[in-house]
Amino acid sequence: MKNISKLLSSLTIIHRNKIEPCILWGIHEYPLTFIPLILQVKGNYSESFERKLKRMGCKDITYFPIINGYCLSAPISRIKDIINIPILTYLSMNHKVFAFMNDTSSKLGAYQVNQYGITGRNVTIAHLDTGIYPHEDLIRPKNRILFFKDFINHATRPYDDNGHGTHCAGCIAGNGISSKGQYKGIAPDALLIGLKCLDEKGTGDIKTTLEALQWILENKEQYDIQIVHIPFGYHTSYPFPQDPLIKAVERLCQEGLIVICAAGNNGPLETSIASPATSKNVITVGSCLKPAYKNMPQSVCDFSSRGPTFTGESKPNFVVPGKNITSLYCDPQYHPSKKKDLLSIPYLSFSGTSVSSSITTGAVALLLEKYPDYTPDEVKLALEMSCKSLHLGKNAQGKGILDIEHLLTHEFK
């Protein structure tokens, strides 16, 4: 404890600008001798620097080019030495991330949209989540789960031990074959890449998320990935100038990928948008109520996170229905090594901004089929121009509710 107190008192302003505040706030109470950290550095990767970290007692070291940084476990007793590394630009915690899905509801009613002959054909979406169950609506008559990568348990074939990922995948690309078309996703011919970076509880961390984002960066050409969907994140209560997730998604945006993020379920509090949805370059989606009858007044869901961000950006970009949306369910006990049983409950209703971001992801797949040369900026502009105001504050509704029919029937160039 004395060593920790000496550390805190010895930190200069320069030091404090290079370290995430919660490390200092919680270091007294941290129950373990090792702390999970992310080091961002200047310069390129070097083996000699990794050896230096090992000599300091660091372990589980992984380098991520996408942020030019390292995830590792560091001895608390060596924090001061790490902060004094000359090439260090920022030191932060390896935070937990959480899926943005609220409780299920018994009320059914899928979000329906006319497809206008556009179905997301040949558009590939990287879907980061709890996995994807090989549901009939995704694998028949053709398997559209193009590839599956598991960063949690390292299985090689698709599964979902939680259900969140499969529900979102169904909102995006389910073809409704098990319901005779009643519960169809928005882009029923789109292709999916399932990147499992959340566990059976719907929880992961920055490291598993970075592993998935790094994989996308390295494999985007091979699989012709156009859209990245992130229906989870984490909340902080202070500005985070060197947020590694924001750094990673902005790198993907620079590479021409369209990144769509759920706003988070911490509404109606202000400044409650989750990372990485706080990035100004991603498309951030909040939730509104789905009208139960014609001309019913619409409103933003209470759970939908509100802006602005800590940097003053207005968020979300817009809202999409996200309450009581019916989509695919899964068998959470299924594992690829076992025989798949017939699902007793093939569909279920969920609520959350992850539902809304999934619907948006499907809508963007439709738009890219129609306009395959659209840049990320053009896609975002087309989406925002297709919104109808709910006459609420911009940090609750953004541009308003997305009108997918307008998106598909209007020219934007």
Q: Tally the domains of the chain.
A: 2
My answer on whether 201 and 324 are in the same domain is yes
Name the domain boundary from 94, 126, 156.
Answer: 94
Amino acid identity, residue 232? F
Tell the residue number behind the tokens 């959340």, with chain if given. Answer: 198
Same domain, 359 and 220: yes
pLDDT mean over 148-172 = 97
Q: 405 pLDDT exceeds 60?
A: yes
pLDDT in tens, 338-369: 888 888 889 999 999 999 999 999 999 999 99
- Residue 12 pLDDT exceeds 60: no
Q: Are residues 291 and 329 in the same domain?
A: yes
Active site residues: 129, 164, 354
190 with 64, same domain: the answer is no
Does one domain contain both 56 and 143?
Answer: no
Higher-confidence residue: 323 or 45? 323
Strand partners, 204: 97
- Distance separating the N- and C-terminal Cα atoms of the chain: 63
pLDDT class of 114 with cuts at 50, 70, 90: very low
Decide the pairing of beta strands 34-41 and 88-93. Answer: antiparallel
Residue after which a domain boundary falls, among 75, 94, 113: 94
Q: How far apart are CA 203 and CA 97, in angstroms?
A: 6
Same domain flag for 46 and 135: no
Q: Are 66 and 243 in contact (CB under 8 A)?
A: no
Mean pLDDT computed over 154-165? 96
Cα–Cα separations (whole angstroms), residue 278 to 66, 239, 308: 18, 11, 9
Top pLDDT among 9 and 37 is at 37
Chain-centroid distance, C-alpha 252: 13
Give the model's confidence band at 46: pLDDT under 50 very low, under 70 low, under 90 confident, else very high: confident
Q: For residue 305, which of 270, 339, 336, 281 has the smallest C-alpha distance?
A: 270
Model confidence pLDDT, tens digit, residues 15-42: 667 888 888 765 665 656 889 999 999 9
State the average pLDDT over residues 311-323. 95
Ramachandran bin of 43, using left for φ above 0, alpha for ψ from -120 to 50, beta for the remaining angles: left
Q: What is the average per-residue pLDDT within 214-238? A: 94
Tell me what pLDDT residue 111 has.
Answer: 41
Residues 154 and 189 in one domain: yes
Same domain flag for 136 and 202? yes
Q: Which of 54, 77, 94 delimits the end of a domain? A: 94
142 and 16 together in one domain: no
State yes or no: pLDDT of 402 exceeds 50. yes
Structure tokens at 177: 């074959």
- The full DSSP string for 270-328 is TT-PPBTTT-TTSEEEEEEPPPSSTTPPP-B-TTS-----TT-----SEEEE-SSEEEE
Phi, psi of 214 (to 5 degrees): -65, -40
Q: Give the per-residue pLDDT at 10.
A: 55
Q: Do 328 and 275 fall within a single domain?
A: yes
Q: Is the pLDDT of residue 6 over 60?
A: no
CB atoms within 10 A of CB 395: 20
On whether both 309 and 397 belong to a single domain, the answer is yes
Are the beta carbons of 316 and 307 closer than 8 angstroms? yes
Spatial separation of the C-alpha atoms in residues 350 and 323, rounded to whole Å: 7
* Stated length of the chain: 413
Residues spanned by the domain of 42: 2-94
Same domain, 328 and 285: yes
pLDDT at 239: 72
- 396 vs 235 pLDDT, higher one: 396
Q: Is 292 a residue whose pLDDT tops 60? A: no
Return the minimum-mean-pLDDT range out of 106-110, 145-149, 211-215: 106-110
pLDDT for residue 14: 54
Give the CATH number for residue 67. Answer: 3.30.70.80
**Cα–Cα distances in Å, from 64 out to 57, 60, 192?**
20, 13, 24
Tell me what the pLDDT averaged over the chain comes to: 89
Residue 361 DSSP one-character state:
H
CATH number, domain of 236, equals 3.40.50.200
199 or 297, which is more confident:
199
SS3 253: helix
